[in-house]
Amino acid sequence: MEKQLQMLQLFWLYPRMILVVQLLFLSFIVPAPVNGHALFFQTKVDIIITGVVLDKGGIPLPGVTVSVEGLNIGTATGLDGQYSIAVPEGSTLVFSFIGFESQRILVENQSEINITLFEDTAALDEVVVIGYGTQKRVNLTGAVSQVSSEVLANRPITNLGQGLQGMVPNLNVNVNSGAPGRGSSFNIRGTTSINGGDPLILVDGVVMDVNLINPEDIETISVLKDAASSAIYGARAAYGVILITTKDGKRSGNTVISFNSNLSLNKPTARPDYMNSMEYANWMNAANTTTNGFNYFDDETMEHIQAFYDDPENNAPVFRHSNDPSNMWRYSGNTDWTEVMLKDQYAINNYNLNISGGSDKLNYYTSAGMLKQNGLMKWFDEKYERFNILQNIEYNLNPWLEVGMKLTLNVSDQKAIPENKHGSFANLDNLYMAGDSRPIMPVYHPDGHFAGYSGNGYFTNMPAFLSQGGDRSHKTNDAWVTSTIRLTPFTGFAVNADYTYNYYNATRTHVMNEYWDYDALGPATLFPHTTPNWVRKDEQDDRYYALNIFAEYEKDFGNHYFKSMVGFNQEEKQFNSFWVRRSNLISNEIPYISVASGERNGGDAASDWAIRGGFFRLNYTYNDRYLLEINGRYDGSTRFPSEDRFQFYPSFSAGWRISNESFWGSLGNVFDEFKIRGSYGSLGNQSAVDGNYYPYIASYGTGEVSYLINGEKPIAVYPSGLVSPSLTWETVNQTDIGLDFSMIANRLTGTLDWYQRDTKNMLTRSKTMPAILGANEPQANAADLRTKGFEVQLSWKDQLSNKLNYGIDLLFSDYTSEITKFDNPNGIISDYYIGKKIGEIWGFETEGLFETDDEASDYDQSQIVGHNLLAGDIKFKDLDGKPGITRGSQTLSDHGDLRIIGNSTPRYSYGVRLNADYTNFDFSLFLQGVGQRDFYPGNTFMYAHYSSEWAVPQKFNMDYWSPENPDAYFPRPRLNGGEIGNAQTRYLQNGAYMRLKLLSVGYSLPPSLLQRIKVERLRIYFSGQNLFEFTQVESIFDPESNRVNMYPLNRSYSLGINLSF
């Protein structure tokens, strides 16, 4: 107990204490609000100023904003560049225009002020974070997209993925669950390998779980898409790299304290909508009559269901059946379980405080963030809390030595629902909506006890279970320390080294509580599924080390520019975990192993991996026109046998800044920058063996056996699976051709990329073997895949004469993937085969529903379904002309009446982003969508009730065939499955959608007002997420996640505040 208290102090109290101490400390050292806005204007005599604004070529600039600093006065230049404005004497005029550097002129006694504005070269000098360094955007030769922290700011997001969705073309973010504490998964440029493969995500150079990061601490996000830009990361970068940098203090001499807070209300985008009791009972009766010849609910039961349905005030939702003298209630209620189970909305709170600043010797950034999220369950108080502390400090000890330290602590604390009685909700994404939520069961018995199990043995009452059955807690502590050193002994040369240590600890406690369950009359019994009560504790301790050392040298020889970099990287990760479980707690209230009396069980596991690599990069630029880059990495991974362990991965890229050529001539008036570039590179991939750290070593399984030998459950050893001894890296070759331009004084910028990625020797299950093999085929380097795609991003930025700044970004991307090699000599269609498009769906073509029994009985579908066909059953179309509907031998040469009916790959992904600000108001809007996708709904919540009597149909399932409804969408009711369980055209859904991801409106208080309260900036805003969508899928499915039994995505409505001083 004492130990636990100590742990609590260490991980719970300590971060909070640090925060308090830091705040106290900083309150002393932070200087008083800085001068600069010291004067407060008294209105003086206005004078009229006129003039003309020209560019450096002497051409008049229309639309230039002319304003008075600190006052709400302004105008804009006309077509001839002329302006006129009345200003108080002694004020400062500001001339600003997008793409040009602003100028400030103090008004003394002039009456005419003519100005020449110079192009803002900062736009061209934009620096992009790349692997082990940075690069000016204009000199990039690879495909890199960078977004700044702005896209994440002021949004009710709980993790990075939600914020990045749709922001970078071909960065595909899958947010398939809204469950508290759940993150997103990422993909760059589509199907990577048939066994998946994720991009490498590095935070300040080390692998971190991005779902634990505080989005507020992020400075930039750089997405390296092609082989050339990611090759420096070698064998883990085949499917791109996402580089995240965290914020640093600015060496401005000022200290900035900012506080951001956001409160959002979250409503599910979609939720189940079940049939009511009468609809359900009628459906069940019809289905059982088709299948077994009699009604599912007998007449007596139907009378009670009808009575309660008609008049719930004067009838009970329970009754005693004359057949059944037991103490059990029979049910005749009419419960809307969605309504009973789920809240309409829940809250998420976000608070962030950061303090940053610095001098010429030192800069610092300290931040503390807190996220609190509730859940959707009415009967269980779900909770997710995350605390993030980040401290970045850099010192210049002397002109050639800089040292830095970064400390990160991510603490999360979650309380979640227990696994259900079937153990099937092990995944926290699952929403607690059990399959057997039949509307006829009431929530309570007439005596006030929960209805359910003992009342009638077929039912489980979810509220009873959730409110009494136990819980799961999940606590993580993720601590990072990075030390960096940078030596710059002479100009152009630098040596960098950093070492990172990470300790990750997770504690999971799962408690199952005993509770009383009541039948109609008698004494309560303990709910058997949670009896005896038990507690299980899991402890995971992981360690990670990373070392990077790299040296850079840069030199300009007139027209020749060279830059080189060489480095070394080594990482190691160790996993350790153990668990203990014990049943028969002395009290539900004390879920501790030491306070239980039952059998003890336990287990443990350990594994590790390491990588090691050396890398280099060479850049050469001639005359700012011709760019050349070579990358290489020699990389090794412990996951492969020693002979195949190390590989060399080269990449090349080149660019041509055509706009700098003399022949570009007058085009230069339109195009500020025009560059074409191309790259080719080869990368290795080990992600296929993710989660298996020793894929070439055949290990035996072990487990406990459900058979008592000598009165105990013994341990058994199971044979190893098959492994291929010659596993090696997958190789990914990628070609990229791109175009970057900016035009019309940098108002319009664009990037276009086309790519082709060949994944060779994909590690996959080798050729399908007859089942008598008795084991899964081993992984082997057996298949090739080709993915082709393109992405376009166009951005327009401008300022209107009335000081309205606005920007529009259009993003568009697409890809397709196809198998180019797979050993499938028989052409089995359920397997991969050459030419198979990833995502394709095989199925039958539905001709319709049989109109008459005669038509049905004359039709031969006996190889697909065994039952006799009747009117209202589904009729498949005979495509092959041969007798009967068949699947043939399910091979490419003989697939009977099957054909490819669709493809689930999302095509034509797009995003439209609008930003505007006008005086103190700002506005942004973001639309995101998928242009084409086929969605074949999973069995559950679509047609599971045709094969399982326990599945409850949805409201839209009411459109089923009956003699009165011959044009129905769904077929005749049945209980033993049949035609509807086969993929077919009739139930293929159009999965395209467009969604309003974000809408936000903000108002910043005018500086004149804020100066009085010594505040630099105070902004309040409203922000909405997922506000609406256009889609054709049934409303119980969210078009993005397409699942119903998962925690839904949310529509969020949030209010926030940004404060800095």
Query: Which 879-938 residues touch other proteins, going by CB under 8 A?
Result: 886-887, 889-891
Cβ atoms 290, 973 nearer than 8 A: yes
Least CB distance to other proteins at residue 303 (A): 15
Tell whether residue 292 is a contact of other proteins (CB under 8 A): yes
Tell whether residue 37 is a contact of other proteins (CB under 8 A): no
Least CB distance to other proteins at residue 642 (A): 6
Cβ atoms 575, 606 nearer than 8 A: yes
Identify which of residues 460 and 1058 has a Cβ nearer to other proteins in the complex: 460
The one segment of 92-100, 312-320, 699-707, 899-907 that binds other proteins by CB under 8 A: 699-707
Identify which of residues 390 and 494 has a Cβ nearer to other proteins in the complex: 494
Cβ atoms 742, 673 nearer than 8 A: yes
Enter the DSSP assignment of 310: H
Identify which of residues 559 and 830 has a Cβ nearer to other proteins in the complex: 830
Identify which of residues 274 and 527 has a Cβ nearer to other proteins in the complex: 527
Tell whether residue 344 is a contact of other proteins (CB under 8 A): no
Identify which of residues 292 and 802 has a Cβ nearer to other proteins in the complex: 292
* 718-737 binders of other proteins (CB under 8 A): 718-720, 722
Binding mask 108-137 for other proteins (x = CB under 8 A): ------------------------------
* 853-872 binders of other proteins (CB under 8 A): 862-867
Instruction: Give Cβ neighbours of residue 724 (< 8 Å, ≥ 6 apart).
Output: 696, 766, 778, 779, 780, 781
Helix, coil or strand: residue 156: coil
* 457-516 binders of other proteins (CB under 8 A): 457-458, 487, 489-490, 495
Least CB distance to other proteins at residue 612 (A): 6
What are the phi and psi torsion angles at 667 (to 5°)? -60, -25
Least CB distance to other proteins at residue 395 (A): 16
Alpha-carbon distance values, 446 to 232, 394, 462 (Å)? 69, 69, 18
Which amino acid is it at 768? T
* Secondary structure E strands in 91-188: 92-96, 103-106, 115-117, 127-130, 133-136, 144-148, 171-174, 185-188
Instruction: Give Cβ neighbours of residue 392 (< 8 Å, ≥ 6 apart).
Output: 246, 247, 248, 249, 364, 365, 366, 404, 405, 406
Cβ atoms 972, 871 nearer than 8 A: yes
Identify which of residues 401 and 670 has a Cβ nearer to other proteins in the complex: 401
Least CB distance to other proteins at residue 196 (A): 22
Tell whether residue 708 is a contact of other proteins (CB under 8 A): yes
Least CB distance to other proteins at residue 407 (A): 25
Binding mask 940-959 for other proteins (x = CB under 8 A): ---------x----------
Least CB distance to other proteins at residue 570 (A): 6
Identify which of residues 763 and 975 has a Cβ nearer to other proteins in the complex: 975
Least CB distance to other proteins at residue 419 (A): 15
Least CB distance to other proteins at residue 423 (A): 12
- H helices of 759-811, where? none
Least CB distance to other proteins at residue 766 (A): 6
Tokens of 473: 């807690």
Residue 793 and residue 982: Cα distance in Å, rounded?
41
Identify which of residues 261 and 607 has a Cβ nearer to other proteins in the complex: 607
Identify which of residues 437 and 1058 has a Cβ nearer to other proteins in the complex: 437
Binding mask 299-338 for other proteins (x = CB under 8 A): ----------------------x-xxxx------------
The one segment of 93-101, 166-174, 535-543, 823-831 that binds other proteins by CB under 8 A: 823-831
Instruction: Give Cβ neighbours of residue 231 (< 8 Å, ≥ 6 apart).
Output: 237, 631, 632, 633, 649, 650, 651, 681, 682, 683
Tell whether residue 705 is a contact of other proteins (CB under 8 A): yes
* 763-782 binders of other proteins (CB under 8 A): 766-778
What are the phi and psi torsion angles at 675 (to 5°)? -135, 135
Report whether the peptide linkage leading into residue 953 is cis, meaning its omega lies within 30 degrees of zero: no
Residue 742 and residue 123: Cα distance in Å, rounded?
10
* 399-438 binders of other proteins (CB under 8 A): 400
Q: Which of 32, 38, 45, 709 binds other proteins (CB under 8 A)?
A: 709
Helix (H) or strand (E) holding 509: strand 493-512
Identify which of residues 482 and 787 has a Cβ nearer to other proteins in the complex: 482
* 615-644 binders of other proteins (CB under 8 A): 636, 638, 642
Residue 426 and residue 350: Cα distance in Å, rounded?
28
Identify which of residues 523 and 665 has a Cβ nearer to other proteins in the complex: 523
Tell whether residue 700 is a contact of other proteins (CB under 8 A): yes
* Secondary structure E strands in 375-458: 383-398, 401-416
Least CB distance to other proteins at residue 769 (A): 6
Residue 359 and residue 500: Cα distance in Å, rounded?
26
Identify which of residues 5 and 717 has a Cβ nearer to other proteins in the complex: 717
Helix, coil or strand: residue 945: helix
Q: Which of 10, 127, 605, 900 binds other proteins (CB under 8 A)?
A: 605
Identify which of residues 78 and 721 has a Cβ nearer to other proteins in the complex: 721
Identify which of residues 154 and 290 has a Cβ nearer to other proteins in the complex: 290
Tell whether residue 714 is a contact of other proteins (CB under 8 A): yes
Enter the DSSP assignment of 595: G
**462's torsion region: left (phi>0), alpha (psi -120 to 50) or beta?**
alpha
Identify which of residues 561 and 694 has a Cβ nearer to other proteins in the complex: 694
Residue 607 and residue 692: Cα distance in Å, rounded?
9
* 530-589 binders of other proteins (CB under 8 A): 531-532, 549, 551, 568, 570, 572, 583-584
Residue 553 and residue 752: Cα distance in Å, rounded?
31
Instruction: Give Cβ neighbours of residue 247 (< 8 Å, ≥ 6 apart).
Output: 149, 217, 218, 219, 354, 356, 365, 367, 390, 392
Least CB distance to other proteins at residue 617 (A): 17
